[in-house]
Amino acid sequence: MLWAGWRSEYIANAGKPDADGCLFCRLPAGADEEALILERGSFGFTMLNRYPYTTGHVMVAPFRHIERPADLNADEQAELWRLLGNAMNAIDEAMHPDGYNLGANLGRVAGAGVPGHFHLHLVPRWSGDANFMTTVGDTRVLPEDLTVTWTRLRAPSIRSRDASRE
């Protein structure tokens, strides 16, 4: 038996509209640790996914509420790629994955959990990870709590951010 009690909130709310408005518009107004935000830029931010596919699954989103990557201006595009690189550097330093999945789900039919606000997913992967579990039993195996992951990634995120500004 595998237990993923934290998933019950996600399952209970799957398909329901967010009563508090857009997640990516609302969360940046809160404290970084509570919102699981790892890095903030001028045009966007990086945060842990509260319902991760694997440990270290992060999302990169612009502050501006836009639907498609084509709607990003040049400054937003450049910063999102910088934030993505910083997140990858932080995950490499703290977790040493063997690879990554990188992607975006554009629109509800494409699997977007937050349709209407463009964001990227960066999912670290390890040889032999249990990626089959979602296919077999709609279950994900995570070896640590999100607050532990946030703490592990926060310092490397800040170092990567500072290095990218030099």
Average pLDDT, rounded, for the chain: 84
The pLDDT score that the predictor gives to residue 109 is 86
Contacts of 99 (CB under 8 A, 6+ apart): 124, 125
Q: Which residue has the higher pLDDT, 91 or 113?
A: 91
Instruction: Reduce the DSSP state of residue 68 to 3 states and report it.
Output: coil
Q: Residue 41 above 50 pLDDT?
A: yes
- Average pLDDT score over residue span 100-104: 95
Catalytic residue among 65, 96, 119, 121: 119
Instruction: Reduce the DSSP state of residue 128 to 3 states and report it.
Output: coil
Backbone torsions φ then ψ of 66, nearest 5 degrees = -130, 155
Among this protein's residues, is 119 annotated catalytic?
yes
Instruction: Reduce the DSSP state of residue 40 to 3 states and report it.
Output: strand
CATH 3.30.428.10 fits 21-161, yes or no: yes
pLDDT in tens, 122-142: 999 998 876 544 544 455 556
The pLDDT score that the predictor gives to residue 155 is 84
Q: What's this model's pTM, rounded to 2 decimal places?
A: 0.75
The pLDDT score that the predictor gives to residue 147 is 84
Cβ pair 83, 40 in contact under 8 A: no
Cβ pair 142, 4 in contact under 8 A: yes
The pLDDT score that the predictor gives to residue 38 is 97
The pLDDT score that the predictor gives to residue 28 is 96
Q: Residue 15 above 70 pLDDT?
A: no
pLDDT in tens, 45-78: 999 999 888 899 999 999 999 999 999 999 999 9
User: Dihedral through CA 10, CA 11, CA 15, CA 16, nearest 10?
Assistant: -70
Give the separation between CA 100 and CA 92, rounded to whole angstroms. 10
pLDDT in tens, 142-164: 667 778 888 888 888 888 878 88
Give the separation between CA 103 and CA 25, rounded to whole angstroms. 20
Structure-token pair, residue 125: 């992967």
Contacts of 163 (CB under 8 A, 6+ apart): 89
The pLDDT score that the predictor gives to residue 2 is 45
Structure-token pair, residue 43: 């045009």
Cβ pair 63, 28 in contact under 8 A: yes
- Average pLDDT score over residue span 109-128: 89
Q: How far is CA 117 from CA 10, 86, 156, in A?
A: 19, 21, 27
